[in-house]
Amino acid sequence: MTAQLIKGAEVAAHIREELKKGIAELKAKHNVVPGLVTVLVGADPASQVYVGAKEKTSKELGIYSERYDLPEQTTQKELIALIDKLNKNPKIHGILVQLPLPKHLNEGEVLYTIDPKKDVDGFHPVNVGKLMIGEPDYVPCTPAGIQQLLIRSGTKIEGAEVVVVGRSNIVGKPIANILLQKRDGANATVTVCHTRTRDMAFHTRRADILIVAAGKPKAITADMVKEGVVVIDVGVNEIGKTAEGKRILCGDVDFDAVKEKAKAITPVPGGVGPMTITMLMMNTVRAAKLAAGIA
């Protein structure tokens, strides 16, 4: 069997068209323009690329966008003061602080300062708790994108054995939690693996749906999956550079070998990645609607 490719880039483009229409309608009917601010501290090249992409997509969709590029030596006090100001700005519905922050800054305190109503990344404890009890305002972007890829590729989630590799707060834990909920697009039986899991292959071989977010190139090999599995590869690993200096990326799954056994699989790049920004835009629109009382 050669797997069907789950092309995140195509799914994301489709959702963006839907969003663009919705945003135009929001403006025409309610005079509401969703606003997103991105805050970048320091000059990490990968973060600059991510922030640039978020700004570009916002503009393409008709979302009002602001961007703050702060110097590496920004203090905790200065950053918190900026977030406080943005919390009070009615033009801004979503605040995104690009992670990771420089080491001298306290990431937890920064994220907890963001008003939960403007926390379009869904990382504030209030939003984490709401997701846990099945009443989310905002679902974190990467896990939300994974769920959409499963739904829109026609994958049966209800009753499926889902195995998640990785337990980070931004991918592993939230996707496990989302697919466990008693609702449409979920209702799965979920197992979460990590570095202390005794026999990971035992679990991965049972998976109907395997979601891998370990950050380890080709950690999942063909002998670790069963025939007909649906694989979502979240990993983004740089394994070298082309002669022109472009990054060569691979996922956490040995794509060429696993695709011969899988029913469907996401490529890297072009799988989960394009969905993450799209879900951020969706959360920003939701934030604007919630603020206007029309959600």
Strands (E), the chain: 4-5, 35-41, 64-70, 94-97, 161-165, 189-193, 209-212, 230-233, 237-241, 247-250, 264-265
In degrees and rounded to multiples of 5, residue 105 shows phi and psi of -100, 145
What track of x and - describes contact with ligand NAP for positions 173 through 202 (by CB under 6 A)?
--------------------xxxx---x--
The verdict on 7 binding ligand NAP (CB under 6 A) reads no
**Residue (of 57, 39, 30) closest to 274 by Cα position:** 57
Peptide bond connecting 269 to the previous residue in cis, omega within 30 degrees of 0: yes
Catalytic residue among 117, 118, 121, 173: 121
Q: Catalytic site residue 289?
A: no
- Residue 253, SS3 per DSSP: strand
Which residues share a beta bridge with 253? 220
Q: Which stretch binds ligand NAP (CB under 6 A): 94-102, 150-158, 165-173, 238-246?
A: 165-173
CB of 213 to ligand NAP, least distance (A): 4
- Indicate the residue whose CB is closest to ligand NAP: 168
Q: Catalytic site residue 54?
A: yes
Alpha-carbon distance 108 to 29, whole Å?
Answer: 38
Alpha-carbon distance 262 to 96, whole Å?
Answer: 36
# of chain residues touching ligand NAP (CB under 6 A): 25
The verdict on 142 binding ligand NAP (CB under 6 A) reads yes
The verdict on 235 binding ligand NAP (CB under 6 A) reads yes
Catalytic residue among 98, 147, 148, 181: 98
**Residue (of 279, 277, 270) closest to 50 by Cα position:** 277
Alpha-carbon distance 99 to 276, whole Å?
Answer: 14
Q: Catalytic site residue 98?
A: yes
Choice between 113 and 204, CB closer to ligand NAP: 204
Residues in region 23-82 near ligand NAP by CB under 6 A: none
The verdict on 280 binding ligand NAP (CB under 6 A) reads no
Q: Where along the sequence are the contacts to ligand NAP (CB under 6 A)?
A: 142, 165-168, 170-172, 193-196, 200, 213-216, 219, 234-237, 272-273, 276
Catalytic residues: 54, 98, 121
